[in-house]
Every structure is written in C-alpha cells, then in structure tokens.
Amino acid sequence: MVTSSYANKLKQTPIELATNDPLSPPLGTSFQYQQLQLSQKLLTTIDLETLISLFFDDLTEQYTIAGLVYACPGDNIEISLGTPAKFTHEQRLFAGQDYLGTMSIYCHKELKESNERRIRHLTHTFAFSLRNALAFRRVTLSSQTDYLTGAGNRSALHASLDRELELAQRHKHPLSLLILDVDFFKSINDQYGHPFGDKALKLLVMELKKVARISDTVFRFGGEEFVLILNSTNTQGAFVIAERIRESIETLQLKSDDGDSVSLTVSVGVTTLQEEETASSLIQRADKQLYIAKSNGRNQVSVDTLEQAPKPDIATA
C-alpha cells in the first residue's frame, strides 16, 4: 500500500530502476557523497542478506525508515528487516534489462518528495550490486542443493543458519527452527523399496515448499530428516507452521508399484532462538523436541517452550 500523495503517482506507474531511467536532477554535493559512500559499502560483500542489511542500515541512518522487505518470487526470496509501518513506498527493481524483484520500504511518517527522490537514487545504486549478489546466490545454491530432493543440503543449512542467526540477533528479530522426521520411513523402504522411498522424499519436499512461506528455507538434514529455518517467526508462529505442515503431509497419498495406497506422517521439533544462543545449541534443542515428539507416539509437534504456544492435541500414529 502506497499512502503519500506523491507515492500515489508511483502506484499508478511503478518505478523501474533501469540504467536508462530518467533520474531526477542532481540533489547536491552532500547527497552525491552519501551515494558514493553507499556504493563503497555495497562493494564489501556479495552475500545477498548482508548486502540488503547494509542497504537498510544506510537508509535508517539518513531517513525515518522503519522496515524493509525485499522479494524476488522467481528465486523464492523474501527478506524482511525492521518492522512494518503505516506508510509504504514500493519499487520494482531493475539493473539494465534484468528484473530483480520488488522492494517495500516502511515509514512511520509520510516521506517528503525530496526524500523519496533520494531513496530512489540510492536504490538505483543498490540495484546493480543486487544483481551481482543474486547471480552469486544462484551459483552457490546449485552447489548446495540436495541432488535427490531439491532441498538445501547440510552445508547450505549451516551457512544459512549462521547468517540468519546473526541478522536476528543484530536486528532483534525472532528466529525459529523446525526439525521434522518421516515416521517409520525404514519400514516404507523395506516394504516398497528404496526407489519408492526416494519418490516419497521428493514429494515430501515439494509439499514442504508449497505449505511453508516463501521466506522459509527447507534443508535436508540427513536421511529422512529435514530442517526449516523460519525467520521473523516467534514460537507461536512456528508452532502454527509446524502444525500446518504436519496436517498437510498426513493427507498425502502415494501409490506403490503394486497399487497400494501409502500415507506419510511426520514428527516435528520446534524451538526459538534465545538471546546469545549459538546455531549448534538451537539445532540441539530442536532435535531434542523431535525426539520427544517421536517418543510420545509420532505424528505430532513438540515445542521447547510450550507456555508460548498452544499445547498440541494430536492423535498419535
């Protein structure tokens, strides 16, 4: 939603930040120096999350910016920093002819037209570094993807979790983790064969990606165990997502080569990042909750701080 009178014009004609855009007239020597400083900051990293964090920090130093959301649906990317606010300034991002997604900038107060112009110039500078970061991310992801399921592999999990943890602690955002395990998966492999088991895992990951939010990342932790990183999500929200996943997986029906109808269930452990906690500790606590869920009968969700989430009332499998 765009709420300022000046930005209403932008809503009718979305801003496309391309190299041939007719940018506004020069905004003065001090702004040119700010633009140069931003450009130098952005050259220090090629990591997408770090790049966006640097851009957000630069905006908050100069303007009354409350939050920022960058989304690139084609790459399943949605990164949120700060908090939502009453006024939203939305922009489509281009570098040359390359479409890079959209950026929404949240403000508690209506932006002045001059500040909107400055932010547009800064976003134009940001877009070219963003294009490089997206290209680097795509190459990196191709080497960090589980070949069977298409989920991130364990190496990608540790890299992503370290990055998300650092951002959560810096910006005081909640961060939650789900570890889920397919119940009685060995029996499925033994009865129907490993090719059928592989098919089941592929279908599982497809369902996880469909049910989870675009910002939630799915990783194969090992065997039939999978991890989801839920950024900007507290315990209550993580429990809701875990239950949604559990219920969705329970409705899946697979057909074996013999025509048998085979169903899947999962057990899920949920935990939320504590102050000054490490990634290793976060994983260990989620894994402990997974063990509890399986010990209590499987096909259920176990949360490490139940007072922050409703207690599940789930029939065991």
DSSP 139-185: HHHHTSB-TTT-SB-HHHHHHHHHHHHHHHHHHT--EEEEEEEETTH
Residue 78 sits in the same domain as residue 31: yes
Question: What gap in Å lies between CA 17 and CA 23, rounded to an integer?
Answer: 9
CATH number at residue 117: 3.30.450.40
pTM exceeds 0.75 = no
- Write out the catalytic residue numbers: 224
Number of domains present in the structure of the chain? 2
Token pair recorded at residue 205: 């990951």
**With 60 as the cut, is the pLDDT of residue 43 above it?**
yes
230 bridge partner residues? 176
Same domain, 171 and 133: no
298 and 252 inside one domain: yes
160 lies in the same domain as 294: yes
Q: Is 265 within a domain?
A: yes
Confidence of residue 26 (pLDDT cuts 50, 70, 90): low
According to DSSP, the residues that pair with 99 across neighbouring strands are 94
Residues 77 and 178 in one domain: no
Those residues with Cβ within 8 angstroms of residue 33's Cβ, 6 or more apart along the chain or in another chain:
none
The model's pLDDT over 124-182, given as tens digits with 9 standing for 90+, comes to 999 999 999 999 988 877 778 898 998 999 989 998 999 999 989 988 899 999 999 99
Say if residue 216 is in the same domain as residue 122: no
Is the pLDDT at 6 greater than 50? The verdict is no
**Within this chain, do residues 89 and 197 fall inside the same structural domain, yes or no?**
no
65 and 110 both lie in a single domain: yes
Average confidence (pLDDT) over 230-239:
94
Q: Is residue 1 over pLDDT 50?
A: no
Is residue 25 domain-resident? Answer: yes
Residues 202 and 234 in one domain: yes
DSSP type of residue 291? H
Which residue range(s) make up the domain with 16?
5-142
Residues 126 and 83 in one domain: yes
Q: Supply the DSSP symbol for 305.
A: -
**Which of 142, 176, 206 is the endpoint of a domain?**
142
Regarding whether 35 and 132 lie in a shared domain, the answer is yes
The CATH number given to whatever domain includes residue 194 is 3.30.70.270
- pLDDT of 25 > 60? The answer is no
What integer best gives the mean pLDDT of the chain? 86
Last-in-domain residue among 85, 110, 142: 142
Q: Which residue has the tokens 């964090």?
A: 53
